[in-house]
Amino acid sequence: MPKQVDHDERRRRLTEALLRIAGTRGLQAVSMREIAAEAGVSLRVVQYYFTNKQALLDSGLAELGSRMDRRVRQRAAATTGGPSTRDLFAAVLGAILPSDEQSRLDSLAWTAYYTAALTDPALAATGLTLPNALEDFLTTRLATAQQAGDITPDRDPRTEVAALLALANGLTSSVLSRQRSHEAAAAIVGYHLDRLFGPAAAPPHR
């Protein structure tokens, strides 16, 4: 393997090692040498494919963002055909809550990044702006549903969406700290969707 190497693939491996460490031992446990050990390569290799530690951290954040994005889109797409607005909301909010071990690790890493960005300007510069696009998307979707009569006119779509996303966020915290199971958190989300859309339309109740 001495010469022609796929740089993107190498970088991807290293980024995955970084996220594995961040998800299990925290962001402060992430060092160049730890990443090298986790990826099974030497320190020099990590230096070779990433100029900086900052570049490495940026790459980790980008990968994390695209993972989250992919998860939400997949779940939303899974409710194909004639997805009711309620189903869409259930899918999107369910995608935010950590369900399996992988999404738990990603959520932990994401939380670590988020917290670090609150006090570290270098992290804050890089994007943490995904939630906003999602909020806008869901708001227009809910407003449309309101005009169609799916929810009562006294609801404010923007406030409802903001609250639901904040709720999912807060529930994620409690799931990560093992105060609550994923199922318990999902039940609370379902409870609120019932109140918003009226009791579940019979079939998609889980």
Which of 45, 116, 143, 200 forms a contact with DNA (CB under 7 A)? 45
Handedness of CA 129, 120, 162, 111 (dihedral sign): positive
**What is the footprint of a copy of itself within residues 48-67 (CB under 8 A)?**
none
- Residue 43 Cβ vs a copy of itself, minimum distance, rounded to whole Å: 21
Taking the C-alpha atoms of residue 58 and residue 54, their distance in angstroms, rounded to an integer, is 6
143 near a copy of itself, rule: CB under 8 A: no
Residue listed under structure tokens 């446990």: 29
Taking the C-alpha atoms of residue 185 and residue 189, their distance in angstroms, rounded to an integer, is 6
- Residue 125 Cβ vs DNA, minimum distance, rounded to whole Å: 15
**What is the footprint of a copy of itself within residues 182-201 (CB under 8 A)?**
187-188, 191-192, 195
Taking the C-alpha atoms of residue 28 and residue 185, their distance in angstroms, rounded to an integer, is 28
Q: Which amino acid is at 1?
A: M
Per DSSP, the three-state class of 52 is: coil
Taking the C-alpha atoms of residue 154 and residue 198, their distance in angstroms, rounded to an integer, is 14
**What is the footprint of DNA within residues 23-42 (CB under 7 A)?**
30-34, 41-42
Taking the C-alpha atoms of residue 55 and residue 76, their distance in angstroms, rounded to an integer, is 32
- Residue 47 Cβ vs DNA, minimum distance, rounded to whole Å: 5
- Residue 153 Cβ vs a copy of itself, minimum distance, rounded to whole Å: 14
**What is the footprint of a copy of itself within residues 118-137 (CB under 8 A)?**
118-120, 128, 131-132
Q: Which residues bind a copy of itself (CB under 8 A)?
A: 23-26, 28-29, 108, 111-112, 114-120, 128, 131-132, 156, 159, 162-163, 165-171, 173-174, 176-177, 179-180, 187-188, 191-192, 195
